[in-house]
Chains A and B, each alone.
Chain A
């Protein structure tokens, strides 16, 4: 079965766009998740990434990422609440722990853990999930090849090995279930050794194929690698510039403020709400504008 994060060809504007255009568009959203600490803005970035993924046919990818992201974000928030005792509103005093000392869970540390760290993680994961499912890695490698041939070779090898190794792992797990009751059970160590050995064998086979395709040939000078072009590219570039530009300008102007220590102060002014409201709309714009006519 295809791994959830694997690239899958599609016909929507994001798939049709060239790799640089699609990449810049997506990374503009990821950028805002780091420029801002406000859960309103970061949450909006997460919603935007979710909508892009759904519109681009990567529904399974984004929902699996969301589920996994929630679990990690929750863990992150709990750890932050336990290790940070800043904040004025103490919710629980958990006593003294050997390494941490006095452990107090504060509302502010929880707010920062959930509203900034957790949401940022979810938003970033969603953007990368959409990126890996919708941006053709072949095209990126093609761009990389003239600049860094060895890195492109390694990346090609890894790109191909990931689905092959995933399929191998699924088969090995089934093989464990097929062992007779009197056969030795397979521990994690033996399984890990088998997976590593199998991956090495597989990588040799894939590397042989790359060699046969001509990967080790010197780059041909004066020949530009073929790049996909799309009628949507300009729109994606423009929207990427708009998102990044407006986002950075807003941050400089103090839009989307969010302070948690010592007390929670969140900017819910019209500019912040407008920015948060605009991001999902901008995210959907290429799919609306670029839809087939007639």
Chain B
């Protein structure tokens, strides 16, 4: 059987690029395979996907060497439009992936441009809409869709020509945990039922490894690993730890093998080990599952050792807050009777599904939205919006932040060395820190004092784990200096690493508010992978889980 993608010695440099984005890449993808493309930010994943759909080099230009054949077509001779009948591509930003005004027209456009008959087109649109569970969207306008709905429409448009291969570049980065999980399993179903090969680029590997047949890890433009998910985890533990999933890290710390590719796999391994057989020769794990109803253990295990110990002074007080926003259908209640206090030194993750009201809460606290009722008392609120790049409007870093206060703000985020740089030349993490310095500048009492309240709206989108860890450390440092830091996020693993407290929103209301170890261990979607594997109250991180397993094994012994 011929490979659906065959890449030999591919090197590529973007126009005006100072280094190769891809270096001597060899890769093959077989028909019907589900491949996860892993790697840190800037490792070449997106460029590789763009090369496989022909955008590189036909659309982006640049210098290319080596061979790349997709579905038997040489991409140097066949552009993205020709390849699109055989290869679907879905990018990260749903907003720029809709080019028609109605959903039905958007999905049918690729067939229309290829001259398909009305009947064939109508049938294909209907079938792909049914497969993706979006027939109710067909009559809607594309500008009325949420990010998750737009992403599904983009996938439908990529699938409507029945391609042999679909390439997806971080399609879940803007989705809540529910929508993200649904999307990955939807892709697996399409892969199994339609036989379409899938190459999925994703940072949150815990979400998709269980669905994958194979993992390709990129590093500095090269293929660093290519093999099954389980072997990938073993490799990542040794060579690139930020790529390791929480459950694999749990198993590694607890000394359990083999590495689990997902929650089900991990639970099965633990259950087999507990039963003492069925492990197929695997070493028996020296532990027993902890009963969730074991009160003594619950208390001990649940202690995170990271108690917020907040001061009594609230930096932000929200009382009886009601917010209405107008859309095309008239005013709509977005926040309803919200009461919230953020204490100095506290780190809070604000969570909830898309449209639950998280961003509106932050925008209201920052004064961008006027509430219809309620009161907000705050000390110097700084809000970092979802797109930090919107804050960067000048060509030198120090032009954004002039004067002694500006220099102090730059120093506070560790960017004083980059004062003369062009913000566009900074790395993604540095740009985000510069944006943070811009929103915080002058909001503290003294020059080097942080603002009373720092709100970050979805700051981890598209970030790899090492950058998330840097951000979490920075936010916690600000909290230690007296700020109340709240981050709206869909990323439960990041929330577990960063926050002391979680506030969960649903339909504009606070539906749960409590310690992170309690909130992220008691559910399914809003729970860390470790919590889903172990099901132990209060256990949300790999370290806590490993400690619980070891403790249990000692009790057993």
Distance between Cα atoms of A194 and B387 in the complex (Å): 14
Distance between Cα atoms of A220 and B120 in the complex (Å): 15
Select one of A177, A181, A194, A217 contacting B113, CB under 8 A: A217
Distance between Cα atoms of A177 and B108 in the complex (Å): 41
Does B101 contact A138, Cβ atoms closer than 8 Å? yes
Cβ of A97 < 8 Å from any Cβ of B?
no
Instruction: Provide the residues of chain A in CB contact with B112, threshold 8 Å.
Output: 142, 225-226
Interface of chain B residues 376 through 390 with chain A (CB within 8 A): 382-385, 387, 390
Does A175 contact B390, Cβ atoms closer than 8 Å? yes
Please, what's the 1-or-0 string for A177-193, where 1 marks a CB less than 8 Å from any CB in chain B?
11111111010001101
Does B390 contact A205, Cβ atoms closer than 8 Å? no
Please, what's the 1-or-0 string for B393-432, where 1 marks a CB less than 8 Å from any CB in chain A?
1100001111101100100000000000000000000000
Instruction: Provide the residues of chain B in CB contact with A6, threshold 8 Å.
Output: 143
Distance between Cα atoms of A182 and B410 in the complex (Å): 11
Chain A proximity of B69: nearest CB distance (Å): 19
Instruction: Provide the residues of chain B in CB contact with A220, threshold 8 Å.
Output: 114-115
Chain A proximity of B363: nearest CB distance (Å): 7
Please, what's the 1-or-0 string for B487-503, where 1 marks a CB less than 8 Å from any CB in chain A?
00000000000000000
Instruction: Provide the residues of chain A in CB contact with B387, threshold 8 Å.
Output: 171, 175
Task: Give the interface centre of B79, B108, B109, B114 by most chain A CB atoms within 10 Å.
Answer: B109
Cβ of A206 < 8 Å from any Cβ of B?
yes
Q: Which of A43-51, A207-215, A247-255 contacts B (4 or more CB under 8 A)?
A: A207-215
Select one of B59, B384, B443 contacting A181, CB under 8 A: B443
Chain A proximity of B179: nearest CB distance (Å): 20
Does A182 contact B143, Cβ atoms closer than 8 Å? no
Instruction: Report the nearest A residue to B109, measured CB to CB.
Output: A213
Select one of A138, A142, A178, A190 contacting B383, CB under 8 A: A178
Given A2-B143, A8-B141, A194-B393, the answer on whether A212 and B403 have CB atoms closer than 8 Å is no
Instruction: Report the nearest A residue to B113, measured CB to CB.
Output: A214
Does A211 contact B81, Cβ atoms closer than 8 Å? yes
Please, what's the 1-or-0 string for A147-182, where 1 marks a CB less than 8 Å from any CB in chain B?
000000000110110011001000110110111111
Task: Give the interface centre of A136, A138, A167, A215 by most chain B CB atoms within 10 Å.
Answer: A138
Cβ of B105 < 8 Å from any Cβ of A?
yes
Cβ of B121 < 8 Å from any Cβ of A?
yes
Select one of A137, A172, A194, A202 contacting B101, CB under 8 A: A137
Instruction: Provide the residues of chain B in CB contact with A174, threshold 8 Å.
Output: 363, 368, 385, 390
Cβ of B64 < 8 Å from any Cβ of A?
no
Cβ of A36 < 8 Å from any Cβ of B?
no
Select one of B141, B157, B394 contacting A213, CB under 8 A: B157
Instruction: Provide the residues of chain B in CB contact with A171, threshold 8 Å.
Output: 385, 387, 390
Instruction: Provide the residues of chain B in CB contact with A225, threshold 8 Å.
Output: 112
Chain B contact residues: helix, strand, loop or mixed: mixed
Does B95 contact A164, Cβ atoms closer than 8 Å? yes
The contact size tier of chain A is 35 or more
Cβ of B323 < 8 Å from any Cβ of A?
no
Does A223 contact B328, Cβ atoms closer than 8 Å? no
Cβ of B301 < 8 Å from any Cβ of A?
no
Instruction: Report the nearest A residue to B154, measured CB to CB.
Output: A209
Instruction: Provide the residues of chain B in CB contact with A245, threshold 8 Å.
Output: none
Chain A contact residues: helix, strand, loop or mixed: helix
Cβ of A1 < 8 Å from any Cβ of B?
yes
Does A214 contact B101, Cβ atoms closer than 8 Å? no
Instruction: Provide the residues of chain A in CB contact with B439, threshold 8 Å.
Output: 178-180, 183
Please, what's the 1-or-0 string for B73-90, where 1 marks a CB less than 8 Å from any CB in chain A?
000000111101100010
Instruction: Provide the residues of chain B in CB contact with A29, threshold 8 Å.
Output: none
Distance between Cα atoms of A110 and B136 in the complex (Å): 54
Cβ of A7 < 8 Å from any Cβ of B?
yes
Does A216 contact B99, Cβ atoms closer than 8 Å? no
Cβ of B441 < 8 Å from any Cβ of A?
yes
Chain A proximity of B169: nearest CB distance (Å): 11
Interface of chain A residues 1 through 30 with chain B (CB within 8 A): 1-2, 6-9
Instruction: Report the nearest A residue to B369, measured CB to CB.
Output: A174
Cβ of B250 < 8 Å from any Cβ of A?
no
Chain A proximity of B265: nearest CB distance (Å): 35
Instruction: Provide the residues of chain B in CB contact with A194, threshold 8 Å.
Output: 392-393
17 A-B pairs (CB sep. < 8 Å): A6-B143, A174-B368, A174-B385, A175-B390, A178-B382, A179-B438, A183-B401, A190-B393, A191-B393, A206-B96, A209-B98, A211-B81, A212-B81, A214-B110, A216-B81, A217-B82, A225-B112
**Other A-B pairs, 13, CB within 8 Å; known A191-B393, A212-B84, A213-B109:** A8-B141, A138-B101, A177-B368, A182-B401, A183-B409, A186-B393, A208-B91, A212-B80, A212-B158, A214-B85, A216-B79, A216-B81, A220-B115
Which B residues have a C-beta under 8 Å from some C-beta of A? 53, 55, 58-59, 79-82, 84-85, 89, 91, 93, 95-102, 105, 108-110, 112-118, 121, 139-141, 143-144, 157-158, 326-328, 363, 366-368, 382-385, 387, 390-394, 399-403, 405-406, 409, 437-443, 451
Which A residues have a C-beta under 8 Å from some C-beta of B? 1-2, 6-9, 60, 136-138, 142, 156-157, 159-160, 163-164, 167, 171-172, 174-175, 177-184, 186, 190-191, 193-194, 202, 205-217, 219-220, 223, 225-226
